[in-house]
Amino acid sequence: MNSSNYYYNKNLKEFARKLRKQSTKAEIKLWNEVLRSKQMHGFTFLRQRPVDSFIADFMCKKLMLIIEVDGYSHEFEEKWILDQERQQKLEGLGFTILRFTDEEVLKDIQNVERVIEGWILDHPPVPLQRGNVNHKS
């Protein structure tokens, strides 16, 4: 697991596959109507992608963007605290996290799409550096 593969964690592969089969209505709606098949400005999004010790609902490698769809359970304080810790860890790896509630996705998908599109337009991908790069220890 390293940054060259966007912190992919192969140990979570089977669990991620299981989660894809158990997607929520909101996740399915966001996937089908906004993110699937490069619908969002030609960018590829992956569903239930293992990243470090977590599984992101949706991830775009090129944008270093993770999109999370939070259900009712995320409103409880314990879950909220875990979400914040997880978000800090992922941001520390260089990702940006956009969060939406199930309700936002199910009742106002157009606004969710506008928010994602606005973020993409404001944050174009940074080209990967090739060749010999000096890293400080």
Tell me: the pLDDT tens digits for 43-53?
999 999 999 98
Residue 54: what pLDDT? 92
Residue (of 123, 17, 2) closest to 62 by Cα position: 123
The position carrying tokens 């520390």 is 92
Q: List, for the chain, all residue ranges whose pLDDT scores fall below the cut of 70.
A: 1-4, 72-77, 127-137
Residue 15: what pLDDT? 72
Q: Cα separations (Å) of 49 from 8, 78, 119, 133?
A: 8, 23, 20, 28
* pTM exceeds 0.85: no
Residue 75: what pLDDT? 61
Q: What is the DSSP letter of 18?
A: H
Residue 1: what pLDDT? 44
**Homologous superfamily of domain range 3-122:** VSR Endonuclease (3.40.960.10)
d(CA 111, CA 108): 6
Residue type, 73: S
User: Would you kindly state where each structural domain of the chain is located, as residue ranges?
Assistant: 3-122
d(CA 52, CA 88): 12
